[in-house]
Structure 1
Amino acid sequence: MLHLALIGGSLLYAGYKSYKERTDKRKTAITVIDPTDNTPEQSLATTESVLDEELKDAKHYLTVSTGALGLSVLGTVYPVLNAVVVPLVLYTTVPLFQAALKGLFEEHRLRASVVDSIAVIGTLSTRYYVASSLAVSLFFLAQRLLLATEDNSKKQLISVFGQQPRSVWLLREAVEVEIPFESLRIGDVIVLNAGEMIPIDGYITEGIASIDQHALTGEAQPVERTVGDAVMAATLVVAGKICVMVEKAGQQTVAAQIGEVLKRTANYRTSLEFKSTLLADQMALPTLFLGGVAFASLGVISATATVSCNFSEIIRISSPIGMLNFLKIASEQGILFKDGRSLELLHQIDTVVFDKTGTLTLEQPHVGFVHCWGNATENEILRLAAAAEHKQTHPVAKAILQAAHDRDLTLPPIDNARYDIGYGIKVNIAHRCVRVGSSRFISNEGLILTTEMEAAQHHCHDNGYSLVYVAVDDSVIGTIELHATLRPEIKTVIQGLKKRGLQLYILSGDHEKPTQKLAQEVGITNYFANTLPEGKAQLIEHLQATGKSVCFIGDGINDVIALKKATVSISLKGATSIATDTAGIVLMNQNLSQLCYLFELSDGLNKNMQNSFAAALIPGAVGLGGVFLFHFGIYSTILLYISSMAAGGANAMLPLLTYKDKDATLDD
């Protein structure tokens, strides 16, 4: 027996040295980068290293505790083996004892680790060697499984956009040559066929294709792309064949930038982890008190069972998995979280503020009323204006061309076009000089605006409309009103947000009357007009000062300050601007259709985390009640721990099943 005790003591000492080495290694992983460097890259590298070390520790301690469990089972037949079991169990719980001592003597507070330490000592002192080794084995098994699941969930989240190919087909002197992907250079032209993933950012030089952009932007349907159109990495050629000139490759692509954002987001640990630790620490004193009562009234075994009913550690491990799964679901639908905190905070939002231009309205306006001055008809005015603008790509030209297309107008040929940027265009059509542009352009060309035209201009200005003048030779024959185009999905979105009981506001730099009219049209009562960029941020702060939790949705450069001030910020800029976007959440499909779904995801996360708490607290409460009412013993609490562990793990994975059908509906 003495010989075995010496062996056990040696094992415990060797184990402690091993633990110190592992602790030092983890500290090295944390401080290998300058701790004063708070860049995302530093945070990312540190968190990944710590997770790797935690997983290695869990594997190591699981191996040791499993060995102790096997020896303890044999110890029921050969009791001398328990002299080895005890130091092995103590070795696996060295971190626990160290945390308890640190809390007591350095932090001067009672931590949950004190209760857990007493539970370990209690099971060993009562000679429940099998129970003691089984408990630590189950703990490290749960920790290993949950940490491995967290690691796998991170990898799945980050790999939403697929992997780069090993080789590509390069077009060289009209011949397709297969080369390694790493050999690609900016300016190279590669050939892509149906079924192939686009590995770079670039633009099409030849061909036409149907491209599935769902993984990158969340768009449900493939889009047609042809010569001159941009394409992005991680999108799929569904049909057709295209030649693409390389603009960005590797880590420079939009997909790679999004991947880096997801890596940083995946490392966000929810505040519920802190809450679970805090709750466990707060329960330490009541648990010790109940353990003392149990010891005095029921004996040492019941006291040990009582202090063993603290399962809060499960929350700390399982909560990140639930968060990661929700982030993965969002990413697959084209919703990118640049900060995991935003998903958690969305549940607290009670006020949503929309920027008007570019958020509630589209960039491209539409033709409203056509004023005819003289004998020209509406169709004639639109036909001449569209002919003059047909090679232009700015929103005004697109709006006029769309109106002409809707009326099936045939455009005449033009020649000698001259375009003054920001003012207008001058062309010759059928030996007549046609001018299309602003009132300033028309005046600069020496044409006279009548009193009636100026009155119409003032009316349009007051209502937020733009006017495009059309003149033939020396006379203005008509003006075209351009109205802001509401997003087609906006009214449905507003109704959905109202059903959630959210207060809605509009911020606009536009005049009072057009802002009021738009607010009435979409069904929003509260609005602020004539707002300068810095004024938007001040209004956000004012709403917050009145106790509101504000989500601001904008897309322009003048929204940056307001986006930063809001509790949660959402941008519609899309995937191509992800590197410079300041918002915490980016809707990569550039529309608001998924806004209500976004709030639903946040509610789902909140409910999931509440269930995680219940999965830990309810079995613990049942255990405490069972000890005093039904004389539960140590093995009963172990059984409850198993049920708590299973419930916590299942709840963390539940979102992948719950939202699967909803995602399919969104895709449809």
Structure 2
Amino acid sequence: MSSNAKLLTKGVQNIGLIEKIKPHLELIAASLSGVLIALGWIFDKYGFGTDSIIAYLLAFVIGGFAKAKQGIEATYENKELNVEMLMIFAAVGSAIIGYWTEGAILIFIFAVSGALETYTMNKSHKEISSLMELQPEEALLISNGNEKRVSVSELCVGDPILIKPGERVPADGIIIKGQTNIDEAAITGESMPVSKGEQAEVFAGTVNMTGSITVQVTKESSDTLFRKIIQLVQSAQSEKSPSQLFIERFEGTYVKVVLLVVIAMFFLPYFLLGWSWHESFYRAMILLVVASPCALVASIMPASLSAISNGARHGILVKGGVHLENLGHLEAIALDKTGTLTKGKPEVTEVIVKEGLEREKLIWQVASIESHSNHPLAISIVKYAKLNLNKELFHPDSLEDIPGWGVKAEINGEQWKIGKAAFVGKEHVDTFADGKAKELASLGNTLVFIEINGDLSAMIALKDVVREETKLAIDHLKKQGIHTVMLTGDSEKTARAIAAESHVDEFFAECLPESKVEHLKQLKSKYKTVAMVGDGINDAPALAIANVGIAMGEGTDVALETADIVLMKNDLPRIADAIQLSKRMNKIIKQNVIFSISIIMLLIASNFFQMLDLPYGVIGHEGSTILVILNSLRLLKS
């Protein structure tokens, strides 16, 4: 290897080392500052005064550089004094009156608390970095029967890609060939793999566990659900909560007041209380240290970032601290019915066949006829038949679709009519199966009637079934004192049945998108904080107007973009988890604020009564900041 090549390799290695060290620079600087303070104290003890001062000066510069730079830049940009500037003044003031050790310790502990705060932010950013690393950079494109390794960014909608067992899915798409189990933990937070076959959706970043599958790409690499997750969490980290914004506005005024009081402390005790100049200056320096709101300023941001990271790890994406903070104050929640409370697709709940007819044969014949229709009810009937019968469907002799009514068919000379009551003759419906139709309709079922050769022969009841977890989730919300409301475009009768089954407090039927907005406005006038949960395009206006909009992860892109919080799995109990996380965050923030204010007041009072020395003031003030940050880091735990 040539000398130039060796130098280049060494340079690359050095750059790599610097990149690894970079996130820990503040902690390294703080540690080095601590070592220099220890050296300064040893030199001072053994009479090396000059060496001691040099060691302390180096401790000042190395430990305080990052915070001093940050404070000076922020003061210049915002034209407003800040906490960092107070710390610089206090440390310099301590050195002026000969308290080199105390000033250096102040810088050291301030640097440690700063390093801890940076650690919290880096931990939160690391969650995103680890997410980004989950999406593969390359995909196996199938072109003219040949496999070709290409960059994910080159994939186009419609491209077929091969994904082998153990590989990560490189792009959103649908399976067009093969069957497998997919680990969707990166998207939903669920550790159990999901079985998927043809026409099933797969998402970038998930893991193909067992079989080889061919997937047709449905979204560009920049538009995948996985990419949206990353963008959502990144935007959340830069958005500040109301509490954080208040503290930041309060900080500038508070710093000015502290400086004015410190200046007054230089003179007033000397003239009014008979203190010496040295004592007045000493007490003013202690006041400068203990009155600084470091702990108060650090009370909120680390807690918000930790909570957002925790939520993202469990499939709860929050677009900013403001939304997470609001969630903890929720008083009412409105929920869309279809796809939120229910599965969103009708399922066969009952099949009633006229006496004398073979049930399985009739279902098989009906499914064979309905297999030629794209109507949601027809698709559900076909799905039901395939799950319950081990028979191949056949083609009827003739078929005629009657839009808005049903379908006519002929099978072996028999004339079939399948559709709504009016299509087969309403007068026969009311008496069929001892009036069972009325009872099933009252329970929210949609009824499909089957007529053979003019004789009403069967009735199939279908219903958008309430999710198994819905009742548990609604009951949990009600226990927390949250008023639950269902909004649906369904008829009054269907809405009443679903509302009773899902345990909601109140419901509004026959809702159009604009009427959902009106109901949200009414709820907001009655309750302080209102959330809306939905998954469709028609829910987007209501999601936007609610104090907190919550979208289900399997919903439309519009709903995901409009909402403030996204549940990556259609799992309602996660709303209760998100509320619990919000309440934990708000509780920890409250603890931090009360603790930091109490410590500041106690230290100020102790200083005024001449009971506090500078070393203890430094430890009390900076120690409280470290404790506040450590308390916030508890939110990173599950």
TM > 0.5 fold call: yes
Q: Distance in 1 between matches of 2:558 and 2:283?
A: 58
Q: Which among 490, 499, 508 is matched to residue 528 of structure 1? A: 508
Counterparts in 2 of 1:548-567, with a 5 A limit?
548-567=528-547
- Alignment check: 8 A CA contact 1:214 1:235 kept: yes
Task: Kindly state the Cα deviation for residue 234 of structure 1 after the two structures are TM-superposed.
Answer: 0.4
1:255, distance to aligned residue in structure 2 (A): 1.2
SS at 1:365 equivalent: strand
Unmatched runs of 5 consecutive residues or more in structure 1 = 1-53, 660-668
Residue 244 to residue 562, structure 1, CA distance change in 2 (3 Å):
closer
> CA shift at 1:639, angstroms?
1.9
1:196 aligns to what SS in structure 2?
coil
Task: Tell me whether 1:262 sits opposite 2:262 in the alignment.
Answer: no
Checking the alignment, whether the CA contact within 8 Å between 1:326 and 1:605 is kept in structure 2 is yes
Work out which of the residue numbers 607, 611, 624 in structure 1 matches 2:587: 607
2:519 corresponds, among 539, 542, 554, to 539
The yes-or-no answer on 1:436 pairing with 2:418 is yes
In the superposition, the TM-score normalised over structure 2's length comes to 0.79
**Is residue 2:314 matched to residue 1:333?**
yes
1:565 CA drift (Å): 1.2
> Are 2:15 and 1:77 equivalent residues in the alignment?
no
Q: Is residue 205–residue 243 contact of structure 1 (8 Å, CA) maintained in 2?
A: yes
Identify the match of residue 450 of structure 1 among 427, 437, 440. Answer: 427
In the superposition, relative to structure 1, how do residues 163 and 494 fare at CA in structure 2: closer, same or farther (>3 Å)? closer
Once residues 394 and 325 of structure 1 are traced to their aligned partners in structure 2, the CA distance between those partners, rounded to angstroms, is 47
Residue in 2 that maps onto 1:127: 98
Consecutive unaligned residues in structure 2, runs of 5 or more: 1-21
Q: Number of aligned pairs?
A: 596
Quick one: structure 1 residues 575 and 232, their matched pair in 2 at CA, closer, same or farther if it must change by over 3 Å?
A: farther
Residue in structure 1 matched with residue 212 of structure 2 by the alignment:
241
2:397 matches 1:397: no
Match among 117, 123, 146 for residue 146 of structure 1: 117
Aligned to 1:594: 574
The residue type equivalent to 2:492 in the other structure is E
Secondary structure (helix, strand or coil) at the match of 1:478 reads strand
1:46-57 map, 5 Å: none
Q: Name the counterpart of 1:320.
A: 301
Q: Which moved more, 1:163-172 or 1:344-353?
A: 163-172
Give the letter aligned to residue 134 of structure 1: I
C-alpha displacement at 1:183, in angstroms?
5.2
2:456 maps to a residue whose letter is V
2:393 and 2:138 map into 1 onto residues whose CA distance is: 49
> Residue 272 of structure 1 aligns to a residue in which SS?
helix
Which residue among 287, 297, 322 is the counterpart of 1:306?
A: 287
Evaluate the alpha carbon distance shift between residue 249 and residue 588 of structure 1 in structure 2; reply closer, same or farther with a 3 A threshold: same
Aligned-pair CA distance for 1:647? 1.5
Separation in 1, partners of 2:138, 2:390: 49
Q: CA deviation at 1:550?
A: 0.6
Distance, in Å, in 2 between the alignment partners of 1:313 and 1:165 is 42
1:224 aligns with 2:195: yes
SS of residue paired to 1:348: coil
What's the % identity of the aligned pairs?
Answer: 23
Shift, 1:439, TM fit? 4.4
Partner of 2:629: 649
Change (3 A) 1:369 1:252: closer
SS across alignment from 1:484: strand
CA distance in 2, matches of 1:534, 1:618: 49
Distance in 2 separating the partners of 1:188 and 1:648: 52
The equivalent position to 2:221 in structure 1, one of 218, 241, 250, is: 250
Distance 1:64 1:223 in 2: 51
Shift of 1:94: 7.9
Kept in 2: contact 1:287–1:306 (CA 8 A): no
Q: Aligned letter for 2:588? A: N
Shift of residue 412, structure 1, vs aligned partner: 6.2
What is the alpha-carbon distance in structure 1 between the residues aligned to residue 502 and residue 215 of structure 2? 42
| Equivalent of residue 632 in structure 1, options 608, 612, 616 | 612
- TM-aligned CA distance change 1:270 to 1:505, over 3 Å: same
Task: Spell out, residue by residue over 1:86-131, the C-alpha distance to the aligned partner (whole angstroms, 9 max, x if none).
Answer: 997799758758978999xx78xx9767865653453133122332
1:233-265 Cα deviation digits (max 9, x unpaired) = 101011122233334453232212222222212
CA separation in 2, counterparts of 1:483 and 1:98? 63
Is this contact kept in 2: 1:216–1:575, CA < 8 A? no
Partner AA of 1:450 in structure 2 = E
Deviation for aligned residue 1:362: 2.2
Give the Å deviation of 1:354: 1.8
Shift of 1:421: 5.9
SS of 1:485's equivalent in the other structure is: strand
Distance across 2 between alignment mates of 1:498 and 1:371: 37
Aligned to 2:173: 202
1:211 match: 182
**Structure 1 residue 366 corresponds to structure 2 residue 347:** yes
Give the letter aligned to residue 346 of structure 1. L
Residues 29-52 of structure 1: per-residue CA shift (max 9 Å, x gap): xxxxxxxxxxxxxxxxxxxxxxxx
Mapping of residues 401-480 of structure 1, within 5 Å: 401=382, 403-404=384-385, 413-415=394-396, 416-419=398-401, 423-439=405-421, 442=423, 448-450=425-427, 452-453=429-430, 464-480=444-460
Matched residue of 1:570: which SS? strand
From the superposition, tell whether residues 135 and 346 of structure 1 become closer, same or farther in structure 2 (CA, over 3 Å). same
Contact 1:427/1:435 (<8 A) preserved: yes
Task: Check whether the contact 2:342–2:467 (CA below 8 A) recurs between aligned residues.
Answer: yes
The correspondence of residues 90-169 of structure 1 with structure 2, limited to 5 A, is 93=68, 116=87, 119-120=90-91, 122-157=93-128, 159-160=130-131, 162-169=133-140
Alpha-carbon deviation of 1:512? Answer: 3.1
Mapped contact 1:171–1:191 kept (Cα < 8 A) = yes
**Match status 1:498 vs 2:475:** no
Equivalent residue letter for 1:648: V
Shift of the 61–369 alpha-carbon distance from structure 1 to 2, 3 Å rule, reads closer
- Contact 2:551–2:559 (CA<8 Å) still a contact in 1? no
The match for 1:276 is 247
Q: 8 Å contact 2:152–2:171 — kept in the other structure?
A: no
| Structural RMSD (CA) | 4.2
Residues 448/81 of structure 1: CA separation in 2 closer, same or farther (3 Å cut): closer
Matches of 1:325 and 1:394, distance apart in 2: 47
Residue 277 of structure 1 contacts residue 312 of structure 1 at CA under 8 Å; is this kept in 2? no
